[in-house]
Amino acid sequence: MCGIVGYIGSKKATPILIDGLMSLEYRGYDSAGIATIEKDAIKVMKDKGRVKNLYNLDGIDKLSGTVGIAHTRWATHGKPSKENAHPHMDNSGKFVVVHNGIIENYADLRDFLISKGYTFLSETDTEVIPNLIHYYYTNGPVSVLKDESEKFLGAVKSAVYDLKGSYAIEAISTICPDEVIVVRKDSPLVIGKADGENYIASDIPAILKYTKEFYLLDDNEFAIIKSNNIRFFDNSLVEHNKAVKNIEWDANAAGKDGYEDYMLKEIFEQPTSIRETIGSRFRLGEKCSFDDIEISKEYLENVNRIFFVACGTAMHAGLVGKNLMEKLCHIPTEVDIASEFRYRNPIIDEHTLCIYISQSGETADTIAALKLAKSKGAKTLAISNVIGSSITREADYSIYTHAGPEIAVASTKAYTSQVVLVAILAMHFAEILGSSDKLEIESLKKDIIDLPSKIEQILDNTEPIKDFAKKIYTEKDMFFLGRGTDYSVALEGSLKLKEISYIHSEAYAAGELKHGPIALIENGVTVIGIVTDKNLVEKSISNIQEVITRGAKTLVITNQILPNNNFDYVINIPETNPLISPILSVVPMQLLSYYISKFKGLDVDKPRNLAKSVTVE
């Protein structure tokens, strides 16, 4: 939530900042702004709306400063408006900050500052930060600090000490016009190191075209960034060295590659991203292996419960994981929504393995749920797409989906890669434990290897899905039905539809319909049924018949030859092991939501009210 960019070097900062914000717009897009140091003053330019609006601001092309900070906002405190947009300046005009996160005690801090004579221009929580920095700069322990730079750092540190909540902060000042100070806690921030210049961003892809050398800032770590050097400090302001990390991502992978939208590109990337997820983790006839984790038979034999904990789409991947773990490893497995798990005092001990799934690795609730399990003595394993993300740094073990950058807010390729990785993990555990028949595992491996070409077959024939989308895109309500694993993917299909098409939809376990929701079915309502498990075909079809009888229009996604054929539309997909069938059946649903959103003329990649990375509670 909210995107941050910064630059310090010899080039004009403004174009670099706006360009970086454009690629971070998926993190928030209700307002944007930049601040640059111009001779002896700081110039702030900001506005409501999309980042591109910044180009229309009067005088923005005249900015020539080579030091600057920038922000694209996802509103938490205060409506989207020019006043609430970042950057925010203190009353003296000497300190300017951008902030990602939430300051939970901002009301108290604001009252304190008002009592000291400060005034506020915005409704944001952030505006307390530059004013606190000013307060501590003018009231701080001047004598022990050597120079203006350290005095500025001391003021930032004192201000941050007062903050409760989460933050990634960039601060600049007229007092030290040749530096940017950054600090983070529970919100991501990276520094890109280049020759004679340095870049700052909320995440790596935003500045990947300038450098491959990154410092991943830790919680409660400060940095003073100049064009030629970067100094790191802990939360007592003791200076330390930090290792640079080489990031091998391809900068072009973060572009649209000729596709109209990132979401469409990412849907079509799934054959490739799944191949990357499989990587060298297994081959036919060989056991699965993970370079990144070492889990012993002795440990697994003592695990009596597994939890998958995640949010949104990642949680839906966990639902598929539950089935896999229980079937292959015979370990009772639960799936929890991270925001519930963290407050429900779950029964966890050293015999519990908690697996956290997060594309971004920065989801606040998932991180908090992970910290909780660690504090209760459980082992934690993170599944993420982002190397070095917060969740992977907290967990005991981390494994990566390697799906490449996912930019569209609606998750697609991350989901399919998460399910593939969980399937490989479950096979790995089963091989360690000897809990499954070898031939069964071998056959599942073959099915996983075949997934990319089967997805290609689905992607080669998108017209029927587009056709159906054209017929239903004006509707107000839809239903998704499935049994077993088909139910878990129905939840994902319904979520995708809601988030990018703004059509209300519900997913139900098909057998549950008659216990209430069937009252909502009336003439013309669209029902999408997913039928991929041959053991459940007849049951699922009976439930779909029940809605047809009540006038529903039906689309059935199936890999079976269905006994009757009175459905309005049928999308045939290739057959695979039912344990992993969501990886195929989700693809037509991703496309359906995509086309509906396009027919409605909506912004597919940046749906209203949403952000890619939910770093607030």
Residues in contact with ligand M6R by CB under 6 A are: 311-314, 358-360, 363, 366, 409-411, 495, 499, 613-614
Q: Minimum CB separation from ligand M6R for residue 346, in Å?
A: 19
- Could you tell me if 486 and 533 are in contact, meaning their C-beta atoms sit under 8 angstroms apart? yes
- Could you tell me if 481 and 511 are in contact, meaning their C-beta atoms sit under 8 angstroms apart? no
The Cα–Cα gap between 543 and 17 comes to 54
- Could you tell me if 169 and 160 are in contact, meaning their C-beta atoms sit under 8 angstroms apart? yes
Q: Minimum CB separation from ligand M6R for residue 133, in Å?
A: 31
Which of 314, 320 has the CB closer to ligand M6R? Answer: 314
Q: Which two tokens stand for residue 315?
A: 């949680």
Active-site pick, 2, 176, 329, 354 = 2
Q: Minimum CB separation from ligand M6R for residue 493, in Å?
A: 11
Q: Minimum CB separation from ligand M6R for residue 187, in Å?
A: 13
Which of 288, 497 has the CB closer to ligand M6R? Answer: 497
Determine how many CB atoms are found less than 10 A away from the CB of residue 475: 16
Alpha-carbon distances, residue 12 vs 8, 61, 203, 426 (angstroms)? 9, 10, 21, 51
Specify the pairing of strand 190-194 against strand 197-201.
antiparallel
Q: Which two tokens stand for residue 118?
A: 């400060």
Q: Minimum CB separation from ligand M6R for residue 492, in Å?
A: 8
Which of 499, 605 has the CB closer to ligand M6R? Answer: 499
Determine how many CB atoms are found less than 10 A away from the CB of residue 54: 24
From the CA atom positions of the chain, what is the Rg in Å? 26
Which of 338, 353 has the CB closer to ligand M6R? Answer: 338
Q: Which two tokens stand for residue 274?
A: 């799944």
Which of 225, 614 has the CB closer to ligand M6R? Answer: 614
Known catalytic residue at 164: no
Interacting residues of 440 by C-beta distance below 8 A, sequence separation 6+? none
Query: Nearest 5°: phi and psi at 357?
Result: -110, 130
Which of 352, 411 has the CB closer to ligand M6R? Answer: 411
Known catalytic residue at 612: yes
Q: Minimum CB separation from ligand M6R for residue 608, in Å?
A: 13
The Cα–Cα gap between 288 and 323 comes to 19
Determine how many CB atoms are found less than 10 A away from the CB of residue 376: 14
Return the residue matching tokens 């410092």.
Answer: 215
Return the residue matching tokens 């056991």.
Answer: 287
Closest by CA to 276, choosing from 414, 395, 396, is 414
Active-site pick, 46, 379, 553, 612 = 612
One-letter identity of residue 539:
K
In this chain, which residue has its C-beta nearest to ligand M6R? 312
The Cα–Cα gap between 273 and 222 comes to 35
Q: Minimum CB separation from ligand M6R for residue 85, in Å?
A: 24
Which residues have a catalytic role annotated? 2, 612
